[in-house]
A and B are shown apart, each in its own frame.
Chain A
């Protein structure tokens, strides 16, 4: 559920990076923090970790002010992947406007991928969101490793779902991270444009929306701290 402050024309969306433990959700966010140069970019907050595992969540706020006066922001969150932190996952997932599912490409992790995707479906239901309705992008991470499922097999497997194409990524090398994020942005735009009149009222079309939020780091953005 986006927050829209009509007085200040401030619009905030919540994107959640979901996936099994150690699939690379935080790495995605760190890469986005490095790669992205949106007009406005906050500090990446890593709340607390233990042995490289997220305990609470990570947060990266980004945004832009359009010439038409809209103050649009995205809050990018990760959830803890470990099974025992389900309450935290549910709390972070509540009121989400979009989800990036970061799966692990290794053969040994396919069962974890499946059960975490099921867990996503269940938790979305619990916080009143339909998985078929929410903008969702799927990424298969760790393509740099050896014992991984073939790309063709993954495309084939996800063909019948509402979510192809699945994006191949190696977050640790910065590959596929932006592509995944951009796919999510396009899907998000399709849904929020009619509701908030981004094109009609604020003259922001899809290409502008994606470009403003995911432009690469060639200029200096507002780095905050």
Chain B
């Protein structure tokens, strides 16, 4: 190592081999023994080798002074180039090392920030995925609710179209029954058609009962879909409950054991069709929950704050505790694929919340389930 700030010494600048070689060359040129030393031992036989104002060594030997001086100049001449090379090489090495170290530090800093960026990118990706899930769920929900609305409108349309024909069918059947009665009276007592007429009357009575049932279903459908109502109107919750129960019953092969205990309620300003749908969904769940032995009980009432309370209780299998929190989640269902959308209670909850109300599900597995709906009417009782 030789820094440009340091003093130069010939014996350090050259290796022992190189020094030997230089001494031999100088001796050959001088024609007598010359040696290169860092300090003279015989002053009168030594000449300094000067470089950059410093004496870097001595040429010593018995040669004439002029020869020694030339040898010293030659050594200084060599020193000039060796020093120049060493200074440049060392300075270059030092600055390269400094630069390399600075680069390494920058590299470490870069790696660190790259790692941070990666973490940031990961968390962003996670958030994007979450948002995509939310959007997908919302889209599906929108699709399902649009489908439900379409079905409701279809039902309302059908109900409206059937209403008129069923009206005159009922009326005509009533008149026909009266005519048959008149015919029976007008005939002599011993006519041969006695059994035919009796049978005719029974047929007409049966048809009339059937037509009346159709009319009732149509009325319920109209109430359920509120085809005649504006979106929001004052509606009777009890009427909605009764119509919905009838609709649920018509979907069953054998009538369900549904007990009702409805008490007089204040009118509710609400969206009848959606409220009907909400009650229907809750009832439909209860219907699917009970076995042949089970019972459904529907109660309504109001409290002193003018809130309408609806309870739908069943004695079915109940909902396990670990999934009770999720029953209102969209697309959550325990039923086999294809038999339910998983949106029933979600729609019910959304409707109740749109009416500033609350819905709650309590269940004891194996004993049954109770769904409670509270709907504020905005009217306090005095």
Give A contacts to B, CB under 8 Å: 14, 40, 42-43, 45, 47-48, 55-57, 59, 61-63, 73, 85, 87-88, 91-92, 95, 222, 224-225
9 A–B pairs (Cβ distance < 8 Å), ordered by A:
A42-B51, A42-B53, A47-B88, A57-B4, A59-B52, A92-B4, A95-B5, A224-B51, A224-B76
- Range of interface residues on chain B? 20 to 34
- Knowing A40-B53, A73-B53 are in contact, say whether A59-B5 is a contact too (CB < 8 A): no
Task: Give complex CA distance A189, B48 in Å.
Answer: 31
Q: Which one, A47, A55, A87, A225, contacts B84 given CB within 8 A?
A: A47
Contacts of B4 in A (CB 8 A): 57, 59, 92
Contacts of A73 in B (CB 8 A): 53
Contacts of B99 in A (CB 8 A): 87
What residue of chain A has the Cβ atom nearest to residue B98's Cβ? A87
What residue of chain B has the Cβ atom nearest to residue A42's Cβ? B52
Question: How many Å from the CB of B195 to the closest CB on chain A?
Answer: 123
In contact, A56 and B88 (Cβ under 8 angstroms): yes
In contact, A91 and B94 (Cβ under 8 angstroms): yes
Number of A-B contacts (CB under 8 A): 53
Give B contacts to A, CB under 8 Å: 4-5, 50-53, 73, 76-77, 80, 83-84, 87-88, 91-92, 94-95, 98-99
In contact, A85 and B95 (Cβ under 8 angstroms): yes
- Knowing A63-B53, A73-B53, A225-B73 are in contact, say whether A45-B80 is a contact too (CB < 8 A): yes
Contacts of B98 in A (CB 8 A): 87
Contacts of A225 in B (CB 8 A): 51, 73, 76-77, 80
Contacts of B76 in A (CB 8 A): 224-225
Contacts of A43 in B (CB 8 A): 52, 80
Please list the 7 inter-chain residue pairs (A to B) with the smallest Cβ-Cβ separation, ordered nearest first: A87-B95, A42-B52, A87-B98, A61-B52, A42-B53, A61-B53, A47-B88
Beyond the given A47-B84, A47-B88, A63-B53, please list 11 additional residue pairs across the A-B interface where CB-CB is below 8 A.
A14-B5, A42-B52, A45-B52, A59-B4, A85-B95, A92-B4, A222-B53, A224-B76, A225-B76, A225-B77, A225-B80
Contacts of A87 in B (CB 8 A): 94-95, 98-99
Q: Which one, A45, A63, A91, contacts B91 given CB within 8 A?
A: A91
Contacts of A40 in B (CB 8 A): 53
In contact, A57 and B91 (Cβ under 8 angstroms): yes
In contact, B73 and A45 (Cβ under 8 angstroms): no
Task: Give complex CA distance A45, B4 in Å.
Answer: 11
Contacts of B73 in A (CB 8 A): 225
Task: Give complex CA distance A73, B98 in Å.
Answer: 30
Task: Give complex CA distance A224, B87 in Å.
Answer: 20
Task: Give complex CA distance A85, B52 in Å.
Answer: 25
Contacts of A224 in B (CB 8 A): 50-53, 76
Question: How many Å from the CB of A119 to the closest CB on chain B?
Answer: 15
Question: How many Å from the CB of A64 to the closest CB on chain B?
Answer: 10
Question: How many Å from the CB of A180 to the closest CB on chain B?
Answer: 22
Task: Give complex CA distance A42, B51 in Å.
Answer: 7
Task: Give complex CA distance A14, B3 in Å.
Answer: 14
Question: How many Å from the CB of B190 to the closest CB on chain A?
Answer: 135
Task: Give complex CA distance A57, B84 in Å.
Answer: 10
Q: Which one, B5, B52, B80, B91, contacts A88 given CB within 8 A?
A: B91
In contact, B94 and A47 (Cβ under 8 angstroms): no
Task: Give complex CA distance A59, B8 in Å.
Answer: 14
Question: How many Å from the CB of B252 to the closest CB on chain A?
Answer: 90
